A and B are shown apart, each in its own frame.
Chain A
C-alpha cells in the first residue's frame, strides 16, 4: 500500500562510508524475505549487496542474525552489520 511507511535500515561501521547519509530507506512488499531485500539493494548500493552476498556483512532483524529466508516487513528493526571489531563473523 502506498500509505505504508518505509523501513529505515540501520548501518554501522564502514558501511556508513559506502552509503551517503549513513542509512537506507526501503519499502518492503508483503512477504519480502532477506534474499529479496538484497536484490532491492543491488541497483543503488551494489557494493553493499555484494558484501552481504559474500557474508562479510550480516543482516539482523529485530536484533537477531537473519537468514536468507527470514521474512521482513517495514515494522521490523533491520540492520546491516559489518565484521565486528573483535574477529571473524563465523558461519551464518
Chain B
C-alpha cells in the first residue's frame, strides 16, 4: 500500500507550490543505486514574445493531463536506463518567479539521467493537455507554443 501511495506522488498535477528539495529527496529515497539526479525546473518568467508578463494562469484537462504524465513516466522508465522519474505540473494562477513544472530523474549514471530528463520535458510539452494564459499590459493572451 505504501508503495502504491508513493507511486501516486511521483506524478502530480496540483495547484499548490512544491518544494524542489522534498521532491528530489522523494526520488533519491527510492533506491540506493541512484548515483545521479537530473532536474528540470520550469519557472514563471516576466517576459514573453516581446511582451511584459505580470502573472499567468495554467489550465489543464483533469484526468487526461494526469494520464499523459503517467504515460511519459512509464515510457521514460522503459526506454532509458534510469531508476526513477518524478513529474509535477502546477495549474491555476502562478506569480512571476514561482515554480511551474518539475522533472526529477534518478539514474546510476549521469548520461542517462540527462537524456531521460530532456526527453520527459520535451514530451510533456508536446502531448500534455495543459494551457497557459499570460497576463500582459494588453490583456490576457493564450499561449500556443514556446520553445
Contacts and interface: CB of A to CB of B under 8 A. Distances in A.
A12 B59 contact: yes
Interface stretch (A41-49, A66-74, A75-83): A75-83
A21 interface: no
B96 interface: no
B59 A63 contact: no
Interface residues of A, number: 18
B142 A82 contact: yes
A10 interface: yes
A85 B126 contact: no
A14 B132 CA distance: 10
Interface of A: 10, 12-14, 17, 60, 63, 79, 81-90
30 contacts: A12-B59, A12-B61, A12-B131, A13-B131, A13-B133, A13-B142, A14-B131, A60-B61, A60-B129, A63-B64, A79-B64, A81-B61, A81-B129, A82-B142, A83-B144, A83-B145, A84-B125, A84-B126, A84-B127, A84-B129, A84-B130, A84-B131, A85-B131, A85-B145, A86-B124, A86-B126, A86-B130, A87-B126, A88-B126, A89-B126
